[in-house]
């Protein structure tokens, strides 16, 4: 249903007209997809080729100007689905899609599956009409059709997806999702082609985590807005810290595995400590080495009478610490193998004792060394598959408790005489549904419009690719990249699976190198930056600003 009541900002924001890349301005009928070179997957080429016999090796597609009136001749119905975690800009992808489709032929229809991929299986959808769309333009969230994390995996589910698409006469499915959802889009495209359905599947790169990127995707949408929201909050904390000068704030930031969000927020605020999970892994650091590295900064600052500071911790840190990863995996096995024994146990203590006895001695000792609350959390918070829910572990609290213990030991040894009073935060959901920044509003609209052009041209197995992102939006280039080019083979749940390669922070990458040069200065000083709230109106220097990550990665020098 169209939303009746809008906030003041939403009313004004509704008027915002995304800048359409020049190539798309005259609509799908004036865009010709130009086929480039044949492609290959990033790794494991032979295996990926075997798994995708119908869609492997397809050429890259770039859009050029040209008469293409055929795309609007027959009216089509196209379906869209939002998959996985929310990311600012999802509604504008749908707006771009709708506008692209209607521009090609006013009789074209767009429908949205409800509640994520489960909507495909349950044949649950609504039509995205113009009035409905208009009340969601330039807004955050995925509430227009909601999202979900159901994975279409089994042969029965694939057949069900095909049945739904065919029964309703949908010519294409647009999957807006992260690496896993786009992997699924690639598998569906392959299946639909094998079954000769003629149904296209096109992906759109979404995730605040920023880890779905490669030579075809400069950034996933939502990263820009989410990091701006977190940076505003962290900047405010930095200013509070610098005013009160009595607390250390430990802030965990979302990002299931990659540390891009934390690094970007680090650039935007210049907090004293910025942990990067990928560096911890590269250096094979133990938990106690991570704790020591934090304690060192606290001790040094306290020697300057600075008993305060801000530390940023990526959500995925735990899994980058090799021994913790090992512990979590062993714990998953022990919990699964002993479920019958554990289930009837009354107290957590009883359960813990059993687990301590079953774990290999070194891991048992590690688990015993963890603060009581965290050890219990490891035992209790399990996902539907029975695995430890790593994203629920309060790493910021774990680190504060362990740092406290370390500082106490240093105090006894006479090497620390300062104060340490810590406050913890977790910023995650706060950033996922914010109103998209101008960058994300423009980018998502262009991604959606591009997806419409790809689908109208009956291409399949492609992801919408909008490039040249450091230029003004009018100069962005548009096209598609085959999903198979991004795939490699990884072990998932004990089986070899083709998956889109996740882009982690690399220590050789320009963003990390830039950070490594300045982090010591950030540690000892109060060079905090206060980015403030996202600006939607006003000088372009603030309204059109992109991320430091994108700038470091894409600037020529
Ligand atoms: P996507 O990769 O699906 O975009 O989701 C990312 C994310 O926001 C992570 O940052 C976070 O760890 C996770 O989702 C939280 O998931 P949930 O919404 O299921 O709690």
Q: What is the pLDDT of residues 108-152, one digit of tens each?
A: 999 999 999 999 999 999 999 999 999 999 999 999 999 999 999
Q: How far is the CA of 87 from the centre of ligand 1 (A)?
A: 9
Across the beta sheet with 273-274, what order do the strands follow?
273-274, 309-314, 248-253, 422-427
State which ligand 1 atom lies nearest to the alpha carbon of 179.
2
For ligand 1, atom 7: residue with the closest CA: 85
**Hey, which of 209, 261, 381 would you mutate to test ligand 1's pocket, going by the most ligand atoms within 8 Å of its Cβ?**
209
Q: Are 33 and 454 in contact (CB under 8 A)?
A: yes
Residue 375, pLDDT > 90, answer no
Q: What is the pLDDT of residues 376-408, one digit of tens each?
A: 888 776 666 666 777 788 999 999 999 999 999
Q: How far is the CA of 107 from the centre of ligand 1 (A)?
A: 36
For ligand 1, atom 16: residue with the closest CA: 85
Do the domains at 38-222+436-500 and 223-427+508-532+542-546 have one common CATH topology? yes
Residue with tokens 């009035």: 131
For ligand 1, atom 8: residue with the closest CA: 85
CA–CA distance, 505 with 444 (Å, rounded to integer): 23
Q: How far is the CA of 433 from the centre of ligand 1 (A)?
A: 12
Residues with CB under 6 A from ligand 1: 84-85, 87, 149, 178, 207-209, 254-256, 315, 391, 432
Instruction: For residues 455-480, give the mean pLDDT.
Output: 98
Read off the pLDDT band of 492 (50, 70, 90): confident
Q: Are 273 and 294 in contact (CB under 8 A)?
A: yes
Work out the mean pLDDT of the chain and round it to a whole number: 95
Would you list the domain boundaries of the chain? 38-222+436-500, 223-427+508-532+542-546
Q: What is the pLDDT of residues 406-418, one digit of tens each?
A: 999 999 999 999 9
**Hey, which of 221, 256, 389, 428 would you mutate to test ligand 1's pocket, going by the most ligand atoms within 8 Å of its Cβ?**
256
Instruction: For residues 314-327, give the mean pLDDT.
Output: 94
CA–CA distance, 420 with 408 (Å, rounded to integer): 10
Residue 375's CB: how many other CB atoms inside 10 A?
A: 19
Active site residue 209: yes
Residue 57, pLDDT > 90, answer yes
Query: In the numeric block, which tokens belong to residue 99?
Result: 């506008």
For ligand 1, atom 4: residue with the closest CA: 207
Q: Does domain 38-222+436-500 have CATH number 3.40.50.450?
A: yes
State which ligand 1 atom lies nearest to the alpha carbon of 222.
4
**The one catalytic residue among 99, 209, 211, 224:** 209
CATH topology for 223-427+508-532+542-546 is: Rossmann fold (3.40.50)
């Amino acid at each position: 249903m169209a939303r009746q009541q809008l906030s003041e900002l939403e009313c004004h924001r509704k008027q915002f007209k995304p800048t359409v890349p020049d190539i798309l301005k005259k609509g799908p009928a004036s865009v010709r997809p130009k086929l480039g070179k044949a492609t290959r997957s990033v790794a494991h080429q032979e295996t990926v080729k075997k798994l995708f016999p119908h869609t492997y090796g397809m050429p890259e597609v770039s859009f050029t100007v040209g008469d293409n009136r055929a795309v609007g001749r027959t009216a089509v119905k196209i379906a869209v689905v939002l998959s996985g975690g929310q990311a600012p800009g999802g509604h504008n992808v749908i707006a771009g899609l709708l506008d692209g489709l209607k521009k090609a032929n006013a009789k074209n229809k767009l429908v949205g599956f409800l509640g994520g991929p489960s909507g495909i299986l349950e044949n649950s959808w609504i039509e995205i009409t113009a009035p409905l769309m208009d009340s969601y333009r330039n807004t955050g969230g995925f509430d227009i059709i909601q999202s979900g994390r159901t994975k279409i995996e089994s042969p029965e589910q694939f057949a069900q997806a095909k049945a739904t698409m065919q029964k309703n006469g949908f010519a294409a499915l647009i999957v807006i999702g992260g690496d896993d959802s786009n992997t699924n889009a690639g598998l569906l495209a392959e299946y639909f082609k094998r079954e000769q359905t003629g149904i296209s599947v096109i992906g759109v790169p979404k995730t605040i985590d920023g880890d779905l990127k490669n030579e075809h995707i400069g950034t996933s949408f939502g990263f820009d807005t989410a990091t701006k929201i977190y940076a505003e909050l962290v900047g405010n904390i930095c200013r509070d810290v610098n005013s009160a000068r009595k607390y250390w704030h430990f802030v965990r930031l979302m990002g299931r595995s990659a540390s891009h969000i934390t690094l970007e927020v680090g650039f935007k605020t210049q907090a004293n400590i910025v942990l990067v999970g990928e560096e911890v892994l590269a250096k094979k650091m133990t938990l106690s080495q991570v704790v020591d590295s934090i304690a060192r900064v606290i001790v040094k600052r306290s020697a300057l009478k600075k008993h305060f500071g801000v530390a940023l911790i990526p959500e995925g840190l735990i899994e980058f610490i090799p021994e913790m990863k090992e512990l979590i995996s062993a714990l998953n096995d022990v919990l699964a193998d002993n479920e019958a024994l554990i289930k009837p146990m009354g107290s957590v203590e009883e359960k813990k004792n059993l687990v301590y006895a079953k774990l290999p001695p070194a891991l048992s000792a590690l688990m015993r060394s963890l603060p009581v609350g965290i050890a219990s959390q490891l035992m209790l918070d399990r996902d539907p598959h029975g695995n430890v829910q790593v994203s629920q572990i309060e790493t910021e609290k774990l680190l504060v408790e362990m740092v406290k213990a370390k500082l106490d030991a240093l105090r006894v040894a006479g090497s620390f005489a300062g104060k340490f009073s810590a406050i913890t935060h977790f910023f995650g959901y706060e950033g996922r549904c914010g109103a998209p920044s101008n960058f994300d509003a423009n980018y998502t609209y262009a991604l959606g419009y591009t997806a419409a052009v790809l689908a109208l041209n009956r291409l399949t197995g492609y992801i919408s690719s909008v490039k040249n992102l450091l230029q003004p939006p009018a100069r962005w280039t548009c096209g598609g990249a085959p999903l198979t080019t991004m795939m490699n083979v990884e072990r998932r749940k004990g089986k070899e699976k083709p998956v889109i390669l996740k882009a982690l922070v690399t220590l050789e990458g320009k963003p990390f190198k830039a950070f490594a040069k300045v982090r010591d200065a950030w540690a000892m000083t109060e060079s905090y930056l206060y980015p403030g709230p996202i600006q939607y109106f006003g000088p372009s220097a603030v309204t059109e600003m992109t991320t430091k990550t994108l700038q470091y990665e894409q600037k020529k020098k």
